[in-house]
Structure 1
Amino acid sequence: MGWFYLAANRSKGFLLVMIVWIALQTWLGLQGVYQDTSAWPPKLMLLGMLPALLMIALLFLSRQGRLFIDRLRQPTLTYFHSIRILVEIGLALLYHHSLVPVFMTIEGTNFDLFSGLTAPLVGFRAFRGKSVQTRLLLIWNIICLLLLLNVVVTAALAIPSPMQKIALEQPNVAVLYFPFNLLPTVIVPLVLLAHLSAIRQLTRKPQEAP
C-alpha cells in the first residue's frame, strides 16, 4: 500500500480510506466471516471484492475520482507492480502447503509473474528519456491487466462455495483466512486500479477535462 500511497502523492484521503478498509478486512478475516463456504453469494465476494470494485467504479464515475486518478504518478504506478513477484512466490508456497490449487501458480495457468518481473524493466525503459514511451506502457498495461484477470477468475472459481467450478480436490482456501484474505480484497484491487488508471492516463487527450 505504501507504494501506491506515494503514487497518490501522499494523499491523506487515500491513506485514511485504505487504513479503514484494511482494518475492516482484517477484522472480517480474524472473525472467520469468510470461512462460511455455504453462503450465496460467497461472503468474500459480497463483503470484500464487490465493495472494492464499487469503490474503483466510483473513482471513474465521479469528477473528483477522475481528478484523483489523473494525478497519480505514472512511474510509481508502474514500479508498484513489482509487488506481484512477492505475490507469486507466496502463491507457490501456499500451493505446496495445499492451500491454493496449482492453477493459481506459475506451475499451472498463472503467468502473472511476468508482470512483476517486467515492471521495473518497463518503468526504466519508458521513463528514462525526455519523453514517455506511451505505446510501450499502454501495451504492457493491457497485457498485464489480462494476466491479472486470468488469475482472478481462476481464483474466484476455485474458492470453496456454491459457485466453485474448478480445483475441487485442492480448492483456494487460503483467501478465507487472515492475512491471505487481504490478497483479493486489498492487493488485487490496488493492482487493478493501477492498471485502469494508467490506461486512462495513457489514452486520455491532454485537453480533455477530468
Structure 2
Amino acid sequence: MQPDLHSLYLPIPVWLSACFTLLVILLVIGMYYILRKNSQKQALLILMGCLLWLSFLYVLAENAFFLNVTVVPPRFLIAILPPLLLIIILFLRLDGRKFIDQLPLRQLTWIHTVRIGVELLLFQLFIVGQIPGVMTFEGRNLDILAGLTAPLVVFMVFSRNKWSSRVLLWWNIIALGLLINIVTTAVLSAPFPFQQLGFEQPNVGVLKPSFIWLPGFVVPVVLFSHLVVIRKLWQG
C-alpha cells in the first residue's frame, strides 16, 4: 500500500509550531537549571550545545531536507543518531558515568511532565492531518500517562516518602516502555520504505519545523532521563 502524501509539503499551522517551540524552550530551561546545580560552567556549555543542535535541525527542516523520504537510508537518521550516540558514549565512558551519577532523581522525574504538552500537541497535529491517529492517545499512544503520573510520583517518593525507590524504578521502566511504544509507532507510521502503519495519514509532521525537535531532542532527553534514573536505582 502506498502512503497518502498529500500533506507532506503542507505547512504546519504557525500557532501549533509556536506552541511546540515554547514547550522545547521550557524543556531546555529546565535542563539548564538541573545541570546548574552541579556546575554552572558545564551547564552553560551543554546549553550552548543544545541550542546549536536545535538550530541545526531547524535549518535542515526549514529547507525541507527531511521531506525527501525516498532516499535510503532515511535522512531522518541525521536527527536521531547523534543524540543517541551521545547517550551511549556518556554511559560507556567513566567521566560520562560520573556526570550521570551527579544528576538529581527528583528533577529528572519532573522532566517527564513535558510529555503532557507533547501529547496534547500531537493530537492537534493529527487534527491538521500531519500524523495518523494511531500516534495519539486516541490510538495506541499512552505516553501521556507518564506525564500525568510524574507529579504524583515526585510527591509520593520525594515529598512524602510514602513510596520507595523501588516504585520509582518500576515507574521509570513502565514509562520507558510507553516511550518505546510511541517511538516504534511513529517510525512505522512515517512514509519510509518500511512503513507499516498510518498509510491514509502518514507521520510527516515530525519531519518539519519545529516538530523535528521531537525525535531529535525531546525524545532523547526523556530517554536519557529514564536511563539515568534506572541505572542509579538499579545499582542500589
**Where do 4+ consecutive residues of structure 1 move more than 6 Å?**
none
One-letter identity of the residue aligned with 1:158 = S
One-letter identity of the residue aligned with 1:34 = F
For normalisation by structure 1, the TM-score amounts to 0.93
One-letter identity of the residue aligned with 2:31 = F
List runs of 5+ in structure 2 lacking aligned partners: 1-27
- Residue 63 of structure 2 is aligned to residue 31 of structure 1: yes
List runs of 5+ in structure 1 lacking aligned partners: 206-210
One-letter identity of the residue aligned with 1:32 = A
Aligned mate of 2:171, from 140, 144, 158: 140
The more displaced of 76-85 and 130-139 is 130-139
Aligned residues: 204
Structural RMSD (CA): 1.4
- Residue 48 of structure 2 is aligned to residue 16 of structure 1: yes
1:194: Cα distance to partner? 0.4
Q: Distance in 2 between matches of 1:68 and 1:22?
A: 22
For normalisation by structure 2, the TM-score amounts to 0.83
Q: Distance in 2 between matches of 1:87 and 1:161?
A: 23
1:130: Cα distance to partner? 6.3
Q: Distance in 2 between matches of 1:163 and 1:41?
A: 11
- Residue 33 of structure 2 is aligned to residue 6 of structure 1: yes
| Residues 1-210 of structure 1: pairs in structure 2 closer than 5 A | 1-9=28-36, 10=40, 11-45=43-77, 47-129=78-160, 133-205=164-236
Q: Distance in 1 between matches of 2:112 and 2:192?
A: 30
State whether residues 8 and 71 of structure 1, in contact with CA within 8 Å, keep that contact through their aligned partners in structure 2. no
Q: Distance in 2 between matches of 1:7 and 1:195?
A: 15
State whether residues 80 and 216 of structure 2, in contact with CA within 8 Å, keep that contact through their aligned partners in structure 1. yes
Secondary structure of the corresponding residue to residue 76 of structure 2: helix
